[in-house]
Structure 1
């Protein structure tokens, strides 16, 4: 029977049937992404509504403030847009992450991290490199953004432990795999997995995961080196005995939290609330006018469910990419199937501080170098609510809220 690994920490298990929770189709979402930072100095922000000025809200914002250094922000920026915690990363994305990781590992973080209290607690897995042979549970759980993956580290107890946790949802519950742990030196933790169980929300008891730990021998053992621990205790880089690199965070910044809300398949109301909270909590409020940044922008979520007509959806920007050019040209591009693409070209003209008049009127279905014209026209006002080098939030056609990620 096949064997599987939990979070690449050297533990092999016998797979159980895949858990596939049902999520109603309430909105367009093509991104499956883990939890989300405040970093890019070139970020341009416009608030959907003015933030509250009450003392309570200001104190709450200060409590939620997460501190990262410039180098740590570079790694966080590299993680934004990567799906499946690295599963679907492009070669360029992997290169950017590895470069940022190496820079941090070359800097002085917390010395002897295994001796620091900052390593204690629950860490969320944000990124992991993939070994050459990915196991079924890795593909099912670690690489799926519907699920949250955590690692708990508690070394200062009578029973020191390292645990890996897959959180399915509040309605379903979680799988927790525990290991007895010990400190070898200032960086390395030794562990041996010894128990695992499902905690289902709808059951008053735990369901043991049927694994013969004692019979696994060395397969249940492993080690984990912490190669960087931030001085604020919010970011950790670790490397495992199987050659895997992990990026984990205790606290995530606002963009990551927003992308997490989108990726977990919550309803339109919940996502709109997350967007509103994100805009309200943004600190670097732009005092001047904002501009649509050039580049390719992938639509990852909209507040309206698609209609039955994919052509109408594509023409109204509810699908695919937006390509923004400096000459005022805007292009929608949608991959259909078997090399066919739908393209619609138009223009945008600034009409206010953060608004644009958009006209899309040059449509075509493309097959390689050949195209079939499609007579369509779509006019709408585009309001730029938030924009930085990685993420953009707009209110567009029919007052629909759009979230785009920059790609390429």
Structure 2
């Protein structure tokens, strides 16, 4: 997708567990102290629930692999880890090698309102791309309308319902079954607090070939809900017309809009169709939202689980790691034991400040009753200390199936 106006660009364009340690041995080399036992690598059981909305949105197995890979990636790819990028690239390559809609530009399925879910970010990206696309608080869309007397492709950055949007338009034409040619010709801000549009200050007529570009659709799903496109500057885009429930929940979190209500609705839908007991899944998890605002004390925030990453293994081992500043990290390790259908007794009693290969122990203990409200391979919702809700996304990639 493109919100860039220079050159011919149409874009807005480790599986190992973190270290564990013991007070009895600190400080020593972390390479010796921070290695979990082989038993930590056994696989935990997992409930992967199918939701009512997910059944309404049609995805093939190969498309589901891509959707799963996108879950938890922030900034539409800007903050993706190497493992996450590998997962997306692998899923994209699989779909591009399959037979989607054979003539996407000739199909009515390409028409409509598409939401940008992921984009690669080459070094040639324009300042406006870097400004808008990597910000989760903004929603980014592409509108395609080719079967009119004035075929166009428009790119939209929606700031919020209260603020408004920026719309950049291009005159479009079809070159062949996959390629759309375009030329930017106008752009404007539509702001809720102004009764008129504010022109975007870009002299398109003076840009010449810099305002031109092309966009290839390399995969269009037969359902018309998923599209992969590549731009003339080598950028890859993944777009969807409708997002599945986990994606909608993460959108609410990224925009800060009615998050608690979105969680309640999501869990309610899951509860209605769940058949088995949920289990914690081992892996590395990054907290992206909690229902309690962090305090001024990073140590209190860290100890209460309000920041940082968690790693669990063997369904009994838990490690919590927080990057502080200037290479310093806070670490806590402990155990969790299942105490009910979806509850766990968590004891975190092995804390330290880590600097490089060394650690300085801290006397700290936390005992928490953790309730697992929802869990699948990519997202986890729990209720813990002081009834605080937590949402974590998995950052160590998808497991091979």
The alpha carbon displacement at 1:248 in A equals 0.6
Which residue of 1 is the match for residue 278 of structure 2? 290
Structure-2-length-normalised TM-score: 0.85
Structure-1-length-normalised TM-score: 0.84
SS at match of 2:214: strand
Matched length: 362
Cα gap change, 1:345 to 1:387, in 2 (>3 Å): same
Gaps in structure 2 of 5+ consecutive residues: 13-44, 397-401
Cα gap change, 1:8 to 1:356, in 2 (>3 Å): farther
Written as runs of structure 1 = structure 2, the 5 A alignment for 1:353-392 is 353-392=341-380
| Deviations 1:200-226, CA, capped at 9 Å, x for gaps | 011111111122211111111111111
Q: CA separation in 2, counterparts of 1:6 and 1:217?
A: 11
The answer on whether the counterparts of 2:8 and 2:211 sit within 8 Å (CA) in structure 1 is no
The answer on whether the counterparts of 1:151 and 1:164 sit within 8 Å (CA) in structure 2 is yes
Which residue of 2 is the match for residue 314 of structure 1? 302
| Deviations 1:107-144, CA, capped at 9 Å, x for gaps | 11112111111111110111111122332111110111
Q: Which runs of 4+ in 1 moved over 4 A?
A: 6-9, 61-64
| Deviations 1:280-333, CA, capped at 9 Å, x for gaps | 233894433332111111111100111222211111111101111216122211
Which residue of 2 is the match for residue 103 of structure 1? 94
The alpha carbon displacement at 1:360 in A equals 1.5
Cα gap change, 1:12 to 1:100, in 2 (>3 Å): closer
Cα gap change, 1:381 to 1:9, in 2 (>3 Å): farther
Which residue of 1 is the match for residue 208 of structure 2? 217
Which residue of 2 is the match for residue 257 of structure 1? 248
The match for 1:332 among 311, 315, 320 is 320
Q: CA RMSD in A?
A: 2.4
Cα gap change, 1:9 to 1:278, in 2 (>3 Å): farther
Q: CA separation in 2, counterparts of 1:378 and 1:296?
A: 20
SS at match of 1:263: helix
Q: CA separation in 2, counterparts of 1:182 and 1:276?
A: 45
The alpha carbon displacement at 1:359 in A equals 1.4
The alpha carbon displacement at 1:46 in A equals 7.9
Which residue of 1 is the match for residue 387 of structure 2? 399
Q: CA separation in 1, counterparts of 2:152 and 2:264?
A: 39
Q: CA separation in 2, counterparts of 1:131 and 1:366?
A: 35
The alpha carbon displacement at 1:375 in A equals 1.4
Q: CA separation in 2, counterparts of 1:97 and 1:293?
A: 21
The match for 2:82 among 79, 85, 91 is 91
SS at match of 2:125: coil
Gaps in structure 1 of 5+ consecutive residues: 14-41, 52-60
The alpha carbon displacement at 1:95 in A equals 2.1
Q: CA separation in 2, counterparts of 1:7 and 1:100?
A: 30
Q: CA separation in 2, counterparts of 1:352 and 1:323?
A: 21
Does structure 1 residue 241 correspond to structure 2 residue 229?
no
